[in-house]
Amino acid sequence: MKKNLQWKLALIVVVIGLCLFLVYPPKDKIKLGLDLKGGTHLVLQVLTEDAINVETDQQLARFEEVFKKNNITFLEANKEKPGRFYFRGIPVEQEGKVRDLIDQYTRDWDYSFSGDRLIFNLKLVAAQYLRDLAVTQTLETIRNRIDQFGVAEPVIQRQGSDRIVVELPGVEDPDRVKNLIKVTAVLEFKLVKAGPAPDEETLLRDFGGKVPEDAEVVRSDPKRGTQGYYLVSKVATVTGKDLRSVRRGVDEWNNPAVHFTLNPDGAKRFEQVTGANIGKQLAIILDGRLQSAPVIEARISDSGIIQGRFTPEEADDLVVILKAGALPAGIKYLEERTVGPSLGSDSVKQGLIAGLVAIFAVMVFMIFYYRFAGLNAIIALILNEIIIFGAIGYFKATLTLPGIAGIILGIGMAVDANVLIFERIKEEIAVGKNIASSIATGFSRAFSAIFDSNLTTIISAVFLFQFGTGPIKGYAVTLICSLVANLFTAVFVSRFIFDAFVPTNAKRLSI
C-alpha cells in the first residue's frame, strides 16, 4: 500500500473508532426526544404578580403594626393594587415621625404624602427582584417535588423572564404529575367555629347572616367525599411552614394518611391551641379546601395526622408537596404535550422500519446501477451514519422526529455526492481518458458542487439552530452533523476506496 494511503486509512479508522466509542452502547448514549420515547413537555408561566401581591399585603400589615406601636393614628389602611397601598388620615403633625419610621423600616418602597393620603409604591427594582425571586423559588420548589416524586432525568429550566420548561420523560401518569406541580400547597390548621352546613346561608344563620370579622368560610374538598361549608378562624394555628417532617402512614382505620411533626415554635402554638379547645374541631385546609376536620380529643404538642379519605397515591403526593414546600406564586400552563409510551415506541418502531427500508432500497439501487462503485457509496453511507450518531452522542443532543428528517436529508445529500462524482467519472471515461485520471478528474470536478451545496445547507441550518425552537433546532443539529460527515465520507473515504482498490493501470472500472 502506498504511503499516503496508509495514513488515510489510519485517519479513517481513528475517526470511525472514535464515533463508535461515542455512540456505544446506543441505548445510553442516544437520548430519544419525548416524541419518540413518550413523556410530558410542559411550559408554564409563573404568575409573578402573586409575589408582588403577597409583598404588598405583608408590608401593609407590617406598617399598620408599626404605626400602632408608635401611636400614629390613621383612619384607613388599604391596598389599592399589587405594589401600591395607602394610609388615610394621618395627622399632619405626625408626618415627620412617620417619615423617620418608614426610612427606618424599608428601602424597597417609595412613599409620598398627597392630600390626606400617605401612598406607598413598590420600587421598580424591588418589584423586579421579587418577580425574579418568585421564578427562582418556583423552579426550585418544582424541582424538589419532581425529585421527591421520582422521575428519571427530568429537565427543569427557566425560559425567558417568567417561564419554566419542564420535561418529564417516560412518565406513565402525566395528569398526576401535572397536578403535583401545579398545587400551591399552602397547608393551614384552623379552628372550626361552625359547620359543616350544606350551604353558606345555613352556616351563617347563627351569626346574623354575616361572616364575623375574625373568621372565614371554607368549603370541603369535593375529592374528599363529603360536601359542606365550614366557618373557621381567620388566623391559622400552624401552617406548612411549621412542619418539621412528614411521612406516609395510616390512620386508626388503616386508611392512608400523612403523619407530621412540628418544629418547636409551631409545637408551642399547637399545644396551646389544642389544649384550650378540647372537644372542638380543627380544620385541616390545603390550598383553601378543607381536607378533614377532626375533633381535638387531647392536648397535642408536636405531632399529628392528616386524614381525609386519601387514596394511597394522594397520600404519597401530599407527602411530596408538603416536603417540597409551597409555591411562592401561582403558575399557569402555557403548553402541554404528552406522548404516551406506547405511541412513542410505535413511532420509533415505524420510524426504524421506514428508515431501514429506505436505506435498503437506496443500497440495492446503488449496487444495481453502479456495481463496484455502488458498494463504495454504500460503505461511505454507513460510515456517514456512524459519524452522525457519534456526533449526536458527543453533543448529547436528543433525537426527535424532525431530527430524523434532518438525517434523511443528510442521507439524500450523501448519496447525491457519490452520484455526482460517479457520473462525472463516467463522463471522463466516455471522453476516452484512462481510468486513474478519470477518477482523479471526476473527484476534483465534482468537489466544488458538493462543497458549495453542502456548505449552503450548513449555513441555512446554522441560522435555523440560532433562531429556531425545539423541533426545528433538533432538525438543524442532525442536519449539520450529517453534512459535515458527508464532506468527509463522500469525498475523502470514497476517494480512498477507489485509490486502494483500483490499480493505477486499470483498463476497466465497474461503475
Partner 1 sequence: MQIFKKTPNIQFLKYKWIALALTVLIVVAGLVNILAGKGLKLGVDFGEGTLIRVKFKEPVSVSEVRKLLSEVGLGDSIIQEAGKESREFQIRTMEKRTTTQDQEIESHQILADRVIQALQGDEDRQKLTQGMLDLNSLDRNSLTNLLRAVAPDEAESLANKIIDYRTENGIITSWEELKKEPINLTQERISYLQSRAFLGKMTVLSRETVGPQVGKDLRKKATQAIIWSLIGMLVYIALRFKGVEYGAAAIFTLAQDVLITMSIYSFTQREINLPIIAGLLTIVGYSINDTIVIFDRIRELQRTMRRESLENIMNLSLNLNLSRTLITSGTVFLTVLSLYIFGGQVINDFAFLMLIGTIEGVYSTIFLSCPVVLFWNQYFKKKKLHK
- 231 φ, ψ (degrees, to nearest 5): -105, 120
Smallest separation (angstroms) from partner 1 to the CB of 450: 9
Smallest separation (angstroms) from partner 1 to the CB of 213: 32
* Cβ nearer to partner 1, comparing 282 with 413: 413
* Cβ nearer to partner 1, comparing 193 with 424: 424
DSSP string, 295-324: BP-S---SEEEE-SS--HHHHHHHHHHHHH
Residue 212 is a binding residue for partner 1 (CB under 8 A): no
- Out of 24, 105, 207, 333, the residue judged to bind partner 1 by CB under 8 A: 333
What span, in angstroms and rounded, lies between the C-alpha atoms of 472 and 474? Answer: 5
Residue 157 is a binding residue for partner 1 (CB under 8 A): no
Residue indicated by cell numbers 483500483: 502
Q: Which residues of 418-457 are buried (b: 16+ CB within 10 A; e: fewer)?
A: bbbbbebbbebbeeebebbebbbbbbeebbeebeebbeeb
**Positions in 253-282 near partner 1 (CB under 8 A):** none
DSSP helix/strand/coil, 446: helix
From 66-74, 99-107, 212-220, 326-334, span contacting partner 1 (CB under 8 A): 326-334
Smallest separation (angstroms) from partner 1 to the CB of 246: 19
Residue 249 is a binding residue for partner 1 (CB under 8 A): no
What span, in angstroms and rounded, lies between the C-alpha atoms of 120 and 113? Answer: 9
Does 91 sit behind a cis peptide bond, omega within 30 degrees of 0 on the bond before it? no
Smallest separation (angstroms) from partner 1 to the CB of 77: 30
Smallest separation (angstroms) from partner 1 to the CB of 353: 5
What span, in angstroms and rounded, lies between the C-alpha atoms of 322 and 454? Answer: 55
Tallying the residues shown for the chain, one arrives at 511
* Cβ nearer to partner 1, comparing 354 with 500: 354
At 169, the amino acid letter reads P
Residue 294 is a binding residue for partner 1 (CB under 8 A): no
Smallest separation (angstroms) from partner 1 to the CB of 341: 5
- 133 φ, ψ (degrees, to nearest 5): -60, -40
* Cβ nearer to partner 1, comparing 274 with 347: 347
Total interface residues for partner 1 by CB under 8 A: 83
DSSP helix/strand/coil, 204: coil
Smallest separation (angstroms) from partner 1 to the CB of 508: 14
- 260 φ, ψ (degrees, to nearest 5): -140, 160
From 83-91, 124-132, 213-221, 396-404, span contacting partner 1 (CB under 8 A): 396-404
What span, in angstroms and rounded, lies between the C-alpha atoms of 438 and 48? Answer: 70
Residue 362 is a binding residue for partner 1 (CB under 8 A): yes
Kindly compute the dihedral angle of the four CA atoms of residues 290, 296, 299, 300, in this order, to the nearest 10 degrees: -40
Strand extents, DSSP E, 187-286: 187-197, 215-220, 229-233, 238-239, 243-250, 256-262, 282-286
Of the candidates 131, 130, 106, which has an alpha carbon nearest to the alpha carbon of residue 118? 106
Smallest separation (angstroms) from partner 1 to the CB of 350: 3
From 24-32, 128-136, 383-391, 408-416, span contacting partner 1 (CB under 8 A): 408-416
Looking at the DSSP assignment, which residues form a beta bridge with residue 333? 44
What span, in angstroms and rounded, lies between the C-alpha atoms of 216 and 229? Answer: 10
Smallest separation (angstroms) from partner 1 to the CB of 404: 8
Residue 477 is a binding residue for partner 1 (CB under 8 A): no
Residue 318 is a binding residue for partner 1 (CB under 8 A): no
| Cell numbers placing 312 | 394511597
* Cβ nearer to partner 1, comparing 86 with 310: 310
Smallest separation (angstroms) from partner 1 to the CB of 403: 9
What span, in angstroms and rounded, lies between the C-alpha atoms of 209 and 206? Answer: 7
- Out of 173, 199, 201, 206, the residue judged to bind partner 1 by CB under 8 A: 173
- 294 φ, ψ (degrees, to nearest 5): -70, 155
Q: State the binding string over 20-59 for partner 1 (x if CB under 8 A, else -).
A: ---------------x-------x-x--------------
**Positions in 479-508 near partner 1 (CB under 8 A):** 479
Would the CA dihedral through 324, 243, 256, 227 be positive or negative?
negative
Residue 119 is a binding residue for partner 1 (CB under 8 A): no
Residue 71 is a binding residue for partner 1 (CB under 8 A): no
Q: State the binding string over 363-392 for partner 1 (x if CB under 8 A, else -).
A: --xx-xxxx---------------------
Residue 330 is a binding residue for partner 1 (CB under 8 A): no
Smallest separation (angstroms) from partner 1 to the CB of 381: 10
Residue 155 is a binding residue for partner 1 (CB under 8 A): no
What span, in angstroms and rounded, lies between the C-alpha atoms of 64 and 76? Answer: 10
Of the candidates 47, 35, 37, which has an alpha carbon nearest to the alpha carbon of residue 333? 47
- Out of 263, 338, 434, 441, the residue judged to bind partner 1 by CB under 8 A: 338
Smallest separation (angstroms) from partner 1 to the CB of 475: 4
**Positions in 413-472 near partner 1 (CB under 8 A):** 413, 415-416, 419-420, 423, 426-427, 445, 448-449, 452-453, 455-457, 459-464, 466-472
At 44, the amino acid letter reads L
Using the 8-state DSSP alphabet, how is residue 371 labeled?
T
Smallest separation (angstroms) from partner 1 to the CB of 25: 20
